[in-house]
Amino acid sequence: MKERIRIMVRMGIRQFADPYYQGFAAQIAFYLLLSIVPTVIILMQILNVLGITSLDFLFIWLDRYVTPNMAATLKAFLENRSSTGNNIILIAMAMWSASRAQFALMRIANYTYSSGRTTGNFFKERWRSLGTMSLTVLTLVFVVVILVYGQMILRLVFGRVIQTSMISRLWSWLRWPLALVLYFLVIVFDYYLLPLKKMNVRDLLPGSIMASVGMLVVTVFYSIYTNYVVDYGLIYGSLSSVAAVLFWLYLLSWVLVLGILFNKLWRDTRDMKARKENE
């Protein structure tokens, strides 16, 4: 295993020496930043259509991971009902910016898995990025619905067998592990859709695990920063919070790219080992 890890590190360094990889993480982070507000607002509109009107879970998340000024601004957007014209503009903004981030990940995935031979047809990939982004948004809606209505579902299924207090306690234990599992599945789903040449789901698991853990670690450090650093001054806090969000998205983008590369390195080293054993 140690020898395999050394080979993977050596191959990874050689892969990143390719100039094609330079700047992609910054490009992904930029378009993710543009898409955050319109995407969240659209998600809330979809949840309202589904009858989920309580935004407490989102407000708790905003209070925990976003600076107070930015959280107050986002809450004001979410609490106001948008007009039809505004919704159309927000949908267009969200789909364009988010699909640009997805498009960049697609080109990186195609380039990595084909060993630099192809990045896919530009126009076809642009259309495909819109489709995969729509599927990703629907998947996120499904995750939110499960997290919001999970306790109700447990009561419907096990209400006659298990006491209500026990179901509430069980849900308090299961909710966040379930959220992590669903979060991991979203990453696997995205990694499967990205490349033109589809990989086996088994080959996607190592990079997906790495990306999930890496994004969790980056987010934990970001939450620590927002909780203990940004309140030192109005000007300093506001400027540093903007820089922190940019840096957070940049690191998240790098983690996603590294997850794609890790899948390739894991598969290649496994195939190398199999060839040596057959010789």
Residue 70's pLDDT is 65
Q: How many CB atoms lie within 10 A of CB 260?
A: 23
Residue 132 has pLDDT above 60, yes or no: yes
Place 219 in a pLDDT band, splitting at 50, 70 and 90: confident
**Average pLDDT of the residues in 185-211:** 86
Residue 203 has pLDDT above 80, yes or no: yes
Place 198 in a pLDDT band, splitting at 50, 70 and 90: confident
Structure token pair of residue 159 = 């209400």
Residue 214 has pLDDT above 60, yes or no: yes
Residue 160 has φ and ψ, to the nearest 5°, of: -85, -10
Residue 180's pLDDT is 76
Residue 33 · residue 246 · CB < 8 Å: yes
Residue whose C-alpha is closest to residue 110's, from 20, 233, 226, 8:
20
Scored b (16 or more CB within 10 A) or e, 92-131 reads ebbbebbbbbbbbbbbbbbbbbeeeeebbeeeebeebbee
Place 245 in a pLDDT band, splitting at 50, 70 and 90: confident
Residue 202's pLDDT is 87
Per the listing, tokens 């076809």 go with: 124
